[in-house]
Structure 1
């Protein structure tokens, strides 16, 4: 009986290992398994990264998409904040995939990344997401959401840049919506906006206007969910009231909840309640 030469044995064994590894490394095609793709690059900057959470059993027909934009006054924050929301979102919106997005942050020491760099990054991220829907086996029924600065950016994307209708609804927590009126709210809002824009509403009226989501609402704007706390001392409730009035003027489908006593950031119980309310709204407006 002939024996397999030692070198041939090594070659066969090595080939089997490589083949197995290739199957193990397939990140998305095995839709029976949940998959998390961390720090996916969508642009040239190191901050152009996103985390993609793909559920088990996903299909391009039935799996919808929820995009989250983090807060942090356009100067700080990270996509990792999404971890605090994911378990509740999974429970109330089980038929969704999730993406949490980073974007370039303003750097005071160098004055890099002033407005509208953050807005431009969200556009770039959404374009990247659209180009990978088939690869990820998810549908184009997309919702974009965020809190504070992230709420501002998600509203800009939904109202200003959604010309192809990819975004079907938006969910915003305590967002700045009209920057000229927000500018003089307190010392912090004045400092943040003057540094981010390089000026004031008086000497940069076009930039303040073009960076205000409220100015892009029309009768065709996407359905909107809006949450704010009555005791918010960072972004005043009046910013959401202005948005609400405009949505009503243009008869845009919407739901709002102004939580009594809540500040800039909600308790766990109120956050869960808001997610439950969002899920109910999306059953109708992103079915």
Structure 2
């Protein structure tokens, strides 16, 4: 699957990376002392070597207001790496300097390890670890999920199906697959085999319709978070009908959302104006649904 050139062009060119980390203070005399920014790379959150994330903590953070943005890479559930999302980080640091950022890997699917529900549960493991370490890290465990392609699918599914405690407050869906019952997929003669290879059937009840069970557009409820949808009208990998179906489901459930369709493909040849629109919408949603109030 193509890497998200959209982000490389847009975020990589327009924003310079800020300092990656600074040494934490060794003074333990009082919590009122300002905390330095810190970066932790390849933090393990499970026993598998792929279960790692990079954590960017802002200066002057607090358990009262430092909320967390989680990035979830694409790659067709079988490939990709958190490094594919690195070019978003300078934008987030520049526009939202008081938020913590997590850029996560998950266990890639192979013949021995199916994607679903394991990759949904990897997001759960990251959120649980951050929640449990909230005091040590000085973060407020409220989250945004920003996913690209397969990562958008995982983010949408996690929010609607697995986020039982409502820790996720918003989702950004960038060209994510949302409905595997779409004829674009279901009429592909190889689709049944491909889906069965991605699903751990032992993790689902007997007679489960897996195409439905792992389609976020078919799992929307009144607990689904506000969502941004970004799609191309000539995407060879994810049909525009998938964006349209998710848009309809969110509308029917009265979930706050915005659906944007751009001229081009899988996020890799949209216009500069479209890239700017993506930035503005993401920032607006973060300010609205993952607001940081440092005056608390």
TM-score range, shorter chain: 0.7 to 0.9
Cα deviation per residue 1:167-223 (whole Å; 9 max; x = unaligned)?
Answer: 111111111111222533757866643431389xxx975322221112221123211
5 Å-filtered alignment, 1:81-120, equals 81-108=84-111, 111-120=112-121
Match in the other structure for 1:156? 157
| Alignment partners' CA distance in 1, 2:269 and 2:193 | 24
Match in the other structure for 1:142? 143
Match in the other structure for 2:278? 274
Instruction: Tell whether 2:180 aligns with 1:179.
Output: yes
5 Å-filtered alignment, 1:1-287, equals 32-108=35-111, 111-181=112-182, 183-184=185-186, 192-197=194-199, 205-265=208-268, 269=272, 270-287=274-291
Match in the other structure for 1:6? none
State the TM-score, normalizing by the size of structure 1: 0.81
Asked whether the equivalents of residues 114 and 197 of structure 2 are also in contact (C-alpha less than 8 Å), the reply is no
* Structure 1: segments with no counterpart, 5+ residues: 1-20
Asked whether the equivalents of residues 264 and 270 of structure 2 are also in contact (C-alpha less than 8 Å), the reply is no
Cα deviation per residue 1:56-109 (whole Å; 9 max; x = unaligned)?
Answer: 22222222210111100000001112211111122222221100111111124x
Q: CA RMSD in A?
A: 2.8
Displacement of 1:134: 1.6
Match in the other structure for 2:8? none
| Alignment partners' CA distance in 1, 2:117 and 2:223 | 24
Displacement of 1:131: 1.2
Displacement of 1:282: 2.7
Cα deviation per residue 1:112-159 (whole Å; 9 max; x = unaligned)?
Answer: 334222122222222112112221111123111201110000011111
| Alignment partners' CA distance in 1, 2:139 and 2:212 | 35
State the TM-score, normalizing by the size of structure 2: 0.78
| Alignment partners' CA distance in 2, 1:116 and 1:101 | 17
Number of residue-to-residue matches in the alignment: 260
Asked whether the equivalents of residues 147 and 155 of structure 2 are also in contact (C-alpha less than 8 Å), the reply is yes
* Greater Cα offset, 149-158 or 205-214: 205-214
- Which one scores higher on RCO, CA 8 angstroms, separation ≥ 6? 2
* Cα 1:177/1:251, change in 2 over 3 Å: same
| Alignment partners' CA distance in 2, 1:206 and 1:125 | 28
- Secondary structure, in 3 states, of the residue corresponding to 2:62? coil
- Secondary structure, in 3 states, of the residue corresponding to 1:53? strand
| Alignment partners' CA distance in 2, 1:284 and 1:107 | 39
| Alignment partners' CA distance in 1, 2:199 and 2:56 | 34
* Cα 1:185/1:133, change in 2 over 3 Å: farther
* Cα 1:59/1:262, change in 2 over 3 Å: same
Asked whether the equivalents of residues 60 and 134 of structure 1 are also in contact (C-alpha less than 8 Å), the reply is yes
| Alignment partners' CA distance in 2, 1:170 and 1:112 | 26
